[in-house]
Amino acid sequence: MRKNLLLLICTFIITLFLPCCPRHEKPQHIDSSELLKESPRDIDSYTLVFGVFCFETASDLFIRFKPFTDYLTEQTGEQVQLRLFNSNNELFNSLKRKEIDIALISDAMYSILLLNKIEDYSVAGIPVSQNSEKYRCNVIVRKDSVISEFRDLKGKSFALLDKFSVSGYYYPVELTLYLGMRPEDFFSNVIVADNYHDLINHILTRRVSGVCIPSYYLDPTAGSGLKGKVKVIKTSDVFLKGPVIIKASLDDGLKMKINEVLFSMDSTEEGLNVLKQMNVDKFVKGSSGDYLTTLELVRKYYEFE
């Protein structure tokens, strides 16, 4: 009888604790296609790539444009990645391969895209800085130099940029050819600099006698360190500042959203702070037809060697 009582108690205890034990059920099958329908970004997130023309050092460009890509991410709801390049040629090749979705490039680079019939990008906006979307090319020498006009630079040293710059390449080349000489014959020594920061450094450290830079670097607000140290000896007609371009194959709704963000940045405090970091007042609308002046200049000398 005692044995039966013990068996009954054990059975009761086992029955009491069974519900607490985990039950191993067959896992429920989840169709990934259903997840894709609901939230495609959860499975395969796509990052927009923003490229920048190499007009300053990589560290300077990062400081100036990282807040902009963060702002685009916040305002559009799309991840936007800042991609910097070692050279403008690298950026250009990435554009040719359609690896860039949005970019701020020079007017010369945009003209070269058109000359190469690369029609995968359209103008989204044009930056306005120092109250203008235009600039001039200024040939400068040190303030204490006896050089007073461009022809005085014959037999002197000069620094150029690559073929993606109107100020750094095309305008000085045109000036030397107008005087009947190739740049390497007109100047005693030609240095090819990486960016405008290098050009400015070359003139201030007396490595060269002259350089050509965009007029906005001479504005006291630009922080270039040129104030009171250089003088302008030759000035070009006006050109349009380089555009923000956008890949044509992007979703129309996304392109519209990006445009809305660009053109409304100057209407909010947060947007104005980002613009200030980029040394830009605002963005205005533009089109490929606005760059005909640059296109004609680049067309004349792009193949020049």
What pLDDT is stored for residue 224 in this prediction? Answer: 72
> Residue 37, Cβ neighbours under 10 Å: how many?
9
What pLDDT is stored for residue 135 in this prediction? Answer: 97
pTM to 2 decimals?
Answer: 0.82
- The alpha-carbon radius of gyration of the chain (Å, integer) is 30
Query: What are the domain boundaries of the chain?
Result: 45-132+241-301, 135-240
135-240 and 45-132+241-301 share a CATH fold: yes
The CATH number of the structural domain formed by 45-132+241-301 is 3.40.190.10
Averaged pLDDT, groups of 10, the chain, 305 residues long: 46 43 36 31 63 93 96 96 95 96 98 94 96 96 97 98 97 97 96 94 96 91 82 98 97 95 97 96 96 96 73
CATH top class, domain 135-240 = alpha beta
